[in-house]
Amino acid sequence: MSACQVHAYHWPKPLRTVVHHLQPLAMDGPDVASNRVTVCDTGHFNIHRCLDDLLKTEPFSGGTRKERDFAKQGFDAWVAAGKPGHPVYEIEEPT
């Protein structure tokens, strides 16, 4: 399992890591190595929550500095690309 690029230390150990596209695929982000980071499920959810805040032009509602930074990188790339794709999606809070 690759290490999470958001959280340097995990306890307990994450069950898995996933690939997050900085500029999400739904926002026409490319599926290339420079647009991918490996994160735990918690980090992945929080990055998307921060991205959702940016899309709604609201202040960040949470997330670590790294989660907010990854969301901002993706948002800035999307804006620079002319805001392509379908950025609106629903974030469901975990139960």
8 SS3 class: coil
Domain ranges of the chain: 17-80
Query: Which has more confidence, 79 or 15?
Result: 79
Nearest Cα neighbor of 43 from 4, 89, 88 is: 4
Kindly report, residue by residue over 51-66, the tens digit of the pLDDT.
999 998 888 888 999 9
Confidence at residue 59, expressed as pLDDT on a 0 to 100 scale: 86
* pLDDT given for residue 28 in this prediction: 94
| pLDDT 10s digits, 13-53 | 888 999 999 999 999 999 999 999 999 999 999 999 999 99
How is 17-83 classified by DSSP, letter by letter? EEEEESS-GGGT---SGGGEEEEEHHHHHHHHHHHHHHHTT----S--HHHHHHHHHHHHHHHHTTS
